[in-house]
């Protein structure tokens, strides 16, 4: 395959992915707007300063001002991703298979870095092994 053909294929895939991502964001936004009205805007872009300040105030005494600010950033930067996951959990039927795939991929690309960075700042040992997955048996649910 030629380089120009590879670039064209990449461009087509990227446009498709971007369109799916935009559709997922729109659906999640509509779901949250139906629940919380105008407060749903806090989930887009940089979250409301009030939330950031509340987190900083809650953590500053234990972790210092700079670390508290960094933790707040890392916990809020993925608010839109969290909202999308909650919307998917509540209404999976509103999303196509492709949209779900894009949503999960976007979440896994963006969120773990921020959670790991915040956990490291708090000192929880984010480098430890991942949580074991619970076993599925007839008694668990």
> Is 134 domain-assigned?
no
3-state helix, strand, coil in the chain (%, to 5): 75, 0, 25
Q: Quick check: is 139 in a domain?
A: no
Total domains, the chain: 1
Please report whether residue 140 resides in a domain.
Answer: no
pTM of the prediction?
0.75
What's the pLDDT at 137? 58
In a domain, 10, yes or no: no
Per-residue confidence (pLDDT) for residue 8, from 0 to 100: 75
pLDDT value of residue 73:
93
Q: What residue spans of 44-78 are helical by DSSP H?
A: 49-63, 65-76
Nearest CA to 67 among 113, 58, 78? 58
For the chain, which ranges sit under pLDDT 70? 1, 45-47, 125-141
Query: Which residues, 6+ apart, have CB-to-CB distance to 29 below 8 Å?
Result: 40, 43, 44
75: containing domain: 15-122
């Amino acid at each position: 395959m030629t380089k120009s053909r590879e670039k064209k294929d990449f461009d087509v895939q990227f446009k498709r992915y971007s369109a799916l991502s935009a559709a997922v964001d729109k659906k999640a936004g509509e779901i949250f707007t139906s629940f919380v009205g105008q407060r749903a805007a806090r989930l887009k872009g940089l979250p409301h300063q009030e939330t950031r300040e509340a987190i900083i105030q809650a953590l500053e005494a234990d972790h210092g001002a700079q670390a508290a600010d960094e933790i707040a950033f890392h916990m809020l930067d993925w608010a839109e991703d969290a909202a999308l996951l909650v919307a998917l959990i509540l209404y999976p039927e509103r999303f196509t298979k492709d949209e779900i795939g894009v949503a999960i991929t976007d979440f896994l690309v963006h969120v773990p870095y921020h959670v790991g960075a915040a956990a490291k700042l708090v000192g929880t040992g984010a480098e430890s092994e991942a949580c074991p997955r619970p076993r599925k048996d007839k008694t668990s649910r």
